Chains A and B, each alone.
Chain A
Amino acid sequence: MKKVKRSVRARSSSVEEPIASNRARPTKNDTGPMGEHSQFIQSFIDLLKQHNLAELEFEREGFRIRLKRESAAGSPLVAKSENTAGGGPAQADSQAAAISEQTNGMVTITSPIVGTFYRSPSPDADAYVEEGDVVKKGQVLCIVEAMKLMNEIESEVIGRVVKILAESTKPVEYGQPLFLIDPSQTG
């Protein structure tokens, strides 16, 4: 299975925000996260820059990559890659973090997308974070796999992980609380 590693910033929300329960259950085998295509994709990005192209699409043996420049040359590239057996790309743009201050000072990191929650990069690897760890801004907290893409969820705040709210390998929905972080504890 082709896997593409990407980074997605987490969305944080109020602890008081009501979140609907999710009775969804996973049905497929979990093969665990990997990321082996970054070099391959980088070569396409280089090609796009080199020839000053607006858009580039490549498809081979169930793998499809589409790269598109957002506007004129020189602007940042928007990379959209997908496994053709895995559907459309996740929209990183829509998942910009929004930090809301809490009355009790706690920050809830919620899932910015629908997918499967993984606490570690592979089944045998150590978890990205444990309860009690102090995390930095931009530090990877977990992975949410969506459409065969491994989306790394980064912390938007500095603080101590007070509680991990989701179970590894289980589906998560948009807005589902994943981590409770206390930003007053930074060391």
Chain B
Amino acid sequence: MITKAETVMGTVVSFMVDTDNLSDKLVSRALDEACAELHRLDDRFSRWKADSELSRLRDGEVNTTSTLMDEVFELCAHACNISQGYFDPWAMPGGFDPTGLVKGWAAERALSVLAQRGITAALINAGGDVCVLPGTTYQVGIRHPQEPDALCAVVATTSAIATSGIYERGDHLINPFGEDVAAVSATVVGGRLALADALATALAVGGKDVLYLLEGLVGLEGFFINAEGSLFKTSGMVFAEVAP
């Protein structure tokens, strides 16, 4: 097993690669390439870099968009649609802001770089949003929203898991409908990380309304925790059995 932690996108991205019978050299080169991909995407999609394509788009400095930006547009439109507007990058103050989806999407792309280099078992944790190569089950802990050094659940995942919350980074989530944010922490499991990331934000904002939508989305489960410390989950959400 080879691990790596890279500071990028305003957070730290952790890699864990099962070396199998691959050479350490091949794996570390693949990890370098995956990190380069993350930095490349950060340069293009960072809201905090004035010369990123996203910043220039938000400032109205560009009229045409790159293929990558178009891909992000499409994913955002899809996420907005299936979340019934609870994830709405077009409703954010200051203009189009896909930040809630880009980190997961970038991690997915980094993971595919690893796969292209012949790696068959790997996990990437992009600052709390996790994706893994299919074929291996990984136990992923969910941070307890009120106890920084404890978990509130353990979930076995074979694809992606994303958590959105208001206890780190001073992030204040925005409800596109102008109402209060329903949860202090929300997690979505399954499918691809770009959408799980966006839907976790939607679930944190919309609470029960979005949990209800998740019930109807095949392959996706989720749960959220409100400020009173109650947990609500979709009917198919399964936790690893850990007695507290």
Genuine A/B complex:
no
B interface, CB within 8 angstroms of A:
none
The chain A residues found within 8 Å of chain B, CB to CB, are none
